[in-house]
């Protein structure tokens, strides 16, 4: 593993001096990214709510390509408590090839009624249940704050709590920061639906998830 990471760093340093005419990754980098994950880590499960459902898992299958097998299970209006009780439903989708990487894209609905302490407790209960069946890479998403003014402070507070107290042996993906840094941030939500991102917003999330999955959390 150490030798593989050293090779990855060396290639990234080499490629950093190259001029890229297009935004697409150089073939050498794509090949190396593919080699940094094991066969089991090429099976990915996304667990979430309506954001996951409406976007077909944030287009992750499309972005990752045929080298990866992506399953996603999103249920409208559901939260950490729901998935703690129904996690088997999601895991059964990929039971023939257990996922090597699990992405948890929850927290938006929790923010309607849970403060930071209760939210962390819900995350901990979910994580304990997940670890009974999954020993691979686990990502917890810090969800975007939405465009709903009344919900923004609650999501921000819960994200801050999770950022400071992530479950052991997990990796955080800060989608809140991704949305804040986006040049077209005002276009990521519509006035008619301030909770669910636009297609551009979903794709922004998907690209960020893709980056983590390709490295299997190593970078």
C-alpha angle 210-54-128 in degrees, rounded to nearest 5: 65
Distance, CA of 136 to CA of 22 (rounded, Å): 34
- The confidence score (pLDDT) of residue 44 equals 96
Within this chain, do residues 193 and 138 fall inside the same structural domain, yes or no? Answer: yes
Q: Range of 168's domain?
A: 40-215
Within this chain, do residues 208 and 100 fall inside the same structural domain, yes or no? Answer: yes
CATH of residue 92? 3.40.50.1110
Least confident of 73-82, 132-141, 180-189: 180-189
Cα 77 to chain centroid distance, Å, stands at: 18
Within this chain, do residues 23 and 54 fall inside the same structural domain, yes or no? Answer: no
Question: Does the predicted TM-score (pTM) go above 0.85?
Answer: no
- Contact present, 198 and 54 (Cβ < 8 Å): no
Within this chain, do residues 15 and 106 fall inside the same structural domain, yes or no? Answer: no
Distance, CA of 72 to CA of 94 (rounded, Å): 9
Q: How many CA atoms lie within 13 A of 34 on its CB side?
A: 13
Number of domains in the chain: 2
Within this chain, do residues 90 and 192 fall inside the same structural domain, yes or no? Answer: yes
Instruction: Identify the helix (H) or strand (E) that includes residue 102.
Output: strand 101-105
Q: Which residue is associated with the tokens 């990796």?
A: 171
- The confidence score (pLDDT) of residue 36 equals 64
Does 204 score more than 90 pLDDT?
yes
């Amino acid at each position: 593993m150490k030798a593989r990471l050293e090779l990855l760093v060396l290639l990234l340093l080499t490629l950093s001096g190259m001029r890229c005419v297009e935004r697409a990754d150089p073939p050498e980098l794509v090949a190396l990214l593919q080699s940094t994950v094991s066969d089991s880590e090429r099976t990915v499960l996304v667990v979430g709510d309506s954001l996951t459902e409406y976007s077909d898992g944030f287009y992750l299958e499309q972005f990752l390509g045929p080298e990866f097998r992506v399953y996603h299970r999103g249920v409208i209006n559901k939260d950490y408590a729901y998935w703690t009780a129904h996690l088997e439903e999601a895991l059964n989708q990929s039971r023939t090839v257990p996922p090597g990487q699990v992405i948890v894209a929850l927290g938006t609905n929790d923010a309607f009624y849970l403060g930071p302490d209760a939210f962390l407790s819900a995350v901990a209960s979910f994580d304990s249940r997940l670890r009974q069946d999954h020993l691979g890479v686990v990502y917890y998403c810090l969800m975007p704050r939405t465009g709903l003014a009344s919900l923004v402070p609650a999501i921000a507070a819960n994200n801050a709590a999770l950022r400071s107290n992530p479950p052991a042996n997990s990796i955080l993906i800060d989608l809140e920061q991704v949305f804040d840094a986006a040049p077209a941030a005002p276009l990521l939500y519509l006035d008619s639906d301030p909770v669910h991102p636009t297609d551009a917003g979903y794709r922004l999330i998907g690209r960020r998830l893709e980056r983590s999955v390709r490295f299997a959390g190593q970078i």
